[in-house]
Structure 1
Amino acid sequence: MKRKHDVDRFEIKQKLVGDMLAGTKTMGEVGKALRVDALKMSQTNVCKLTGLSRQVVSDIENDMGNPRLDSFQAYFTLMGLELAVLPRERSELVALESTFTKQTNVADTAK
């Protein structure tokens, strides 16, 4: 049973990723919001679990510096996300989302 103060991590993640795909949030903003709001973790905890330095975690969350790809992967894996290559054009993302939704519905129906 959920208590009032419990958060729905999936719901938070879904909203934040939607915001990022819509172009209203950056990767860093999404990561920081997931860390703080969904996972309730400090940067220190992230560092311990990923092996990243505090500076690298800060750079990722503030969209600064030039973190290595493996640092991004470690950070976002901990947040429950994976890195992907997507089209830059928002109109192409909408078409891609439509295709993905259809494929998901077909897969769900087949179960």
Structure 2
Amino acid sequence: MKRKELSSVEREALLVKLLIQLLREEITPGKVLRQLRRDVLGMSQTQYAELVGISRRSLSDLEADKASPTQALLNQVFRPLGLQTGLVPRNRKLRERLLSVEAPNA
């Protein structure tokens, strides 16, 4: 059965949900990568690995959180999803406080 393609609003909502879960340490970066690859891009591991220039095995290890990737590799695999690595407070309470702050109007 073919998967229903997400609208741009649905993709953005999924992305925000996953990033909040990541910041709250409820999900791992590998699980975020896997879900976005499958649900946003609808790509197999082989297709996505070719897109980002790594082996399928390396991608599998990243998604299973079995790898210790460099920041450069993380940026490489998250780039097609519109994401990059960055600084995040190690203190959980500070991360929660940041999540509760409303973004200023642009």
Range class of TM-score, shorter chain:
0.7 to 0.9
Amino acid at match of 1:44: T
Larger radius of gyration: 1
Displacement of 1:68 in angstroms is 3.0
Distance 1:98 1:66 in 2: 30
Same amino acid, percent of matched pairs: 32
Higher-helix-fraction structure: 1
Is 2:49–2:59's contact at 8 Å kept on the other side of the alignment? yes
Contact 2:30/2:63, CA 8 A, preserved across alignment? yes
Matches of residues 18-37 of structure 1 in structure 2 within 5 Å? 18-37=20-39
- How many angstroms apart in 1 are the aligned matches of 2:91 and 2:5? 36
How far residue 54 of structure 1 moved from its aligned partner, in angstroms, is 1.1
Q: Which runs of 5+ in 2 are unaligned?
A: none
Q: Which runs of 4+ in 1 moved over 4 A?
A: none
Residue pairs, 1:55-70, within 5 angstroms:
55-70=57-72
Of structures 1 and 2, the one scoring higher in RCO (CA 8 A, sep 6+) is 2
2:71–2:85 Cα contact (<8 Å) kept: no
Q: CA RMSD in A?
A: 1.6
Contact 2:24–2:96 (Cα < 8 Å) also in 1:
no
TM-fit CA distance, 1:98: 4.4
Q: Contact between 1:52 and 1:71, CA under 8 Å: does it hold in 2? A: no
- 1: CA distance, partners of 2:41 / 2:14: 10
| Selected match of 1:41 from 40, 43, 48 | 43
Does the 8 Å contact 1:50/1:74 carry over to 2? yes
1:32–1:61 Cα contact (<8 Å) kept:
yes
Residues paired across the two proteins, number = 100
For structure 1, the 5+ residue unaligned runs are none
